[in-house]
Amino acid sequence: MTRWAMVADLRRCVGCQTCTAACKHANATPPGVQWRRVLDIEVGEFPDVQRAFVPMGCQHCDEPACVAVCPTTATRKRTDGIVTIDYDLCIGCTYCVVACPYQARFKTPLGQFAYGDQPTENEAFREDEARREVATKCTFCVERIDSGLDKGLKPGVHPEATPACVNACIAEALAFGDIEDPDSNVSQLLARNQHFRINEEAGTGPGFFYLWDRKRDAT
């Protein structure tokens, strides 16, 4: 069984927000809707403090709080771990927006574009009208994954089958792959490095892992 997951190496991320821009470009999300964010935080206690940049988005949880509250079954989880939204079934009630412990969901406004009420060339090409006035979030670029798999490509290895943010990262801080495959890039990264997941206590089993330090016995 496959379980797609994302890994962010917090030792490498420089907070440039290229992934944020790549997501905006790839998905033509409207103003105020950020499927990818990069938080700028301070960790430690003075004088031993450090700045860290934390890429955030939908965590494609094992037990998604958004699925449990959706009254129309618009939000579902696939067997490969990707949490999807059927825009035709979504009634825009925003229960899921409130329930998500990661603030990953946004209700999209009606017909707003980056520079007013007319789409840019990219928005006209990529914007999906079905996505207006409904709940939206990071999809792990599921269309790229599915079409890549159909072509025999490997998500996380071949760019055409990999989420846009991972391809765009200037620091190779982001990785994507199958954590059920012990030889995958993400499994190898998790095996060699200390890692954590955000809001683990919420019990949602996030599919987004953060590397923070090297394991002492790693080679």
Nearest-approach distance from CB 101 to ligand SF4, in angstroms: 6
Q: Taking Cα atoms as reference points, which of 86, 128, 127, 132 lies closest to residue 109?
A: 132
Burial classification of residue 54, based on how many CB atoms lie within 10 Å of its CB (0-12 exposed, 13-18 middle, 19 or more buried):
middle
Looking at the Cβ atoms of 74 and 169, the one nearer to ligand SF4 is: 169
> Which residues of this protein are in contact with ligand SF4, per CB under 6 A?
13-19, 38, 53, 55, 58-61, 64-66, 83, 100, 102, 104-105, 137, 168-171, 173-174, 204
Looking at the Cβ atoms of 107 and 113, the one nearer to ligand SF4 is: 107
Place of tokens 């079954």: 73
Sequence-distant (6+) residues with CB within 8 A of 85 are 74, 75, 134, 135, 136, 137
Nearest-approach distance from CB 91 to ligand SF4, in angstroms: 17
Helices (H), 45-140: 65-69, 95-99, 121-126
Place of tokens 């080679």: 219
Looking at the Cβ atoms of 67 and 190, the one nearer to ligand SF4 is: 67
Where is 149: in which H helix or E strand?
helix 142-150
Sequence-distant (6+) residues with CB within 8 A of 145 are 4, 82, 155, 161, 162, 163
Looking at the Cβ atoms of 162 and 204, the one nearer to ligand SF4 is: 204
Looking at the Cβ atoms of 53 and 209, the one nearer to ligand SF4 is: 53
CA 68 – CA 55 distance, rounded (Å) = 25
Looking at the Cβ atoms of 120 and 167, the one nearer to ligand SF4 is: 167
Q: Taking Cα atoms as reference points, which of 90, 121, 120, 124 lies closest to residue 108?
A: 90
